[in-house]
Amino acid sequence: MTINLIAGSWLAIIVLWPEMNGIFNPYTLLILSMLAGNAVYTLPSIHASVLGMTQILGVFIPGILGYPSLPPMYIALYAVLHLLAFILFRTLWQRTESTEARNEALLSEYRKLKRRIASDEESARREERAQVGRDIHDSVGHKLTALVMQLEVFRMRNDMEPEVQNHVQKLKQLAQESLQETRSAVKTLQADEPGGLPAIMRLIRKLEADSMIKIHFTVKHGAFNAPLSNNQSIAVYRAVQEALTNIMKHSRSREAEVIFEAPGGSVFRFEIGNPGVPDAKFREGFGLTSMRERIEKCNGRLEVIANRDRFIVRGTLPLNGIQIHTVDGETS
């Protein structure tokens, strides 16, 4: 690179320098200044200094040989001013690079800290749920089990009227149902399945914090208050997660749009879209198939729209027990 710039400088001097009877061409200095600036920007300081000394020597030699030239004092002042400007530029540039490297290191540490905090918070919530589940199981569950056994013993040891015996049987059945509900609640607390709009927002923030993808998140009126069941919330979370993962894996774009809406309060609709790839052949894989099965288990409907401009995954879930019917490809 240094040799090329030196050769270019000498070539500019030889070609552009005027003949004996000609007038000095100031554009020669302009071209030499551009080559010197390129050297300061791309070459080490020593190589850039060698190029500068070569250019100064090349400018003085034609004047010594009798060719038209500028006054030596002008050339010297021009060279000194350029030297000071290049030194200032290189100092500021190196300082900027150092600052950017330090900022990148701090940003990397900040992201690691955010991930660690999020992981610690999730671990704390998981441990708290597990502890609450154990407390319920050890206290309420055991007491309900003891109550069921005592009612059965009481029924077997005492001769009671049919009416009283039926009443005791109902109490026993009620206790058994309460025990079953308690076990179901403990199982739900111990489950580590994310879901709900807050979990989806945490997922989006995490992906953006890691600079994996830029997401435009829009929540239209009524979506936050939509009465989604636990299974529906999990299905929506997994659908958004899978769609964003597919965008990061298969799309050239690093932007996506996520929209939640609940039109009329009868259905909940979510949509994940990103710019499509021209002439790309779409084939539904395992991820989209699993996503469709999850949505359909919740009596919902999933659409995948792939064209040259957009790739859209759109899901619709019923609210308040309302069924989704399809008529000529439309959802109602």
Summarize pLDDT for 84-98 with one digit per residue, the tens.
888 888 888 888 888
Q: What is the per-residue pLDDT for 211?
A: 60
Say if 206 falls within a structural domain.
yes
Q: What is the per-residue pLDDT for 226?
A: 81
Assign 19 a pLDDT band (cuts: 50, 70, 90): low
Say if 114 falls within a structural domain.
no
327 and 204 in a common domain? yes
52 and 32 in a common domain? yes
Say if 11 falls within a structural domain.
yes
Has residue 322 got a pLDDT over 90? no
Of 157, 190, 223, the residue at which a domain comes to its end is: 190
325 and 206 in a common domain? yes
123 and 65 in a common domain? no
Say if 181 falls within a structural domain.
yes
Cβ partners under 8 Å of residue 273, min gap 6: 256, 257, 259, 310, 311, 312, 313
Say if 90 falls within a structural domain.
no
Q: Are 237 and 297 in contact (CB under 8 A)?
A: no
232 and 164 in a common domain? no
As a whole number, mean pLDDT of residues 169-189 equals 76
% residues pLDDT > 90 (the chain): 5
Assign 189 a pLDDT band (cuts: 50, 70, 90): low
Say if 159 falls within a structural domain.
yes
201 and 143 in a common domain? no
SS3 268: strand
List the CATH number of the domain containing 224: 3.30.565.10
Has residue 271 got a pLDDT over 90? yes
300 and 213 in a common domain? yes
273 and 161 in a common domain? no
278 and 216 in a common domain? yes
Can you give the residue range of the structural domain that contains 264?
A: 196-331
30 and 135 in a common domain? no
185 and 218 in a common domain? no
CA separation (Å) from 135 to 127, 144, 145, 146? 12, 13, 15, 16
Say if 170 falls within a structural domain.
yes
Of 129, 162, 190, the residue at which a domain comes to its end is: 190
As a whole number, mean pLDDT of residues 35-44 equals 77
Residue linked to tokens 């609709």: 269
Of 190, 223, 251, the residue at which a domain comes to its end is: 190
258 and 282 in a common domain? yes
Say if 102 falls within a structural domain.
no
Q: What is the count of structural domains for the chain? A: 3
312 vs 276: CA distance, rounded Å: 9
